[in-house]
Amino acid sequence: MKRALLWVSVTVACTLGCAGSEDAFRSTVTQRAAFDMSCKDVSVQNIGGDSYGVLGCDRKASYTCVCMYHVWFSCTKPVCTLDGTSNPATAH
């Protein structure tokens, strides 16, 4: 019984931690993209795994995120790097 309760507790914590990482990544990408693109109005969406796409001011960019530090299954130090940019009007 104790083993089953521990398993449920770890599963719930991991699930919450994963959601917490996504929120941390989205927040970091929003701030980075606004700065990198010199655009205050950016839209961020998850495009698969730890990759995020950003649209704003007639430009788009993609970022890849990793969590550098966890506390109790929650990401406390997200790091997101710019993959590349292009103009949506010229993208195919």
92 in a structural domain: no
SS3 24: helix
User: Residues 14-62: pLDDT tens digits?
Assistant: 434 455 689 999 999 999 999 999 999 999 999 999 999 999 999 999 9
Is 64 inside a domain boundary? yes
Give, in degrees to the nearest 5, the angle at Cα 77 between 55 and 67: 75
State how far the Cα of 46 lies from the Cα of 62, in Å rounded to an integer. 10
| Furthest CA-CA distance within the chain | 60
Q: Dig out the tokens for 19 from the structure.
A: 């959601």
The residue among 38 and 11 whose pLDDT is bigger is 38
Confirm whether pTM is higher than 0.85: no
State which residues form the domain around 22: 2-86
What is the H or E stretch that residue 54 is in? strand 51-56
Helix, coil or strand: residue 48: strand
- Band (pLDDT 50/70/90 cuts) for residue 78 is very high
Number of domains present in the structure of the chain: 1
CB 33, CB 39: distance < 8 Å: yes
- Asked if the structure places residue 91 within a domain, the reply is no
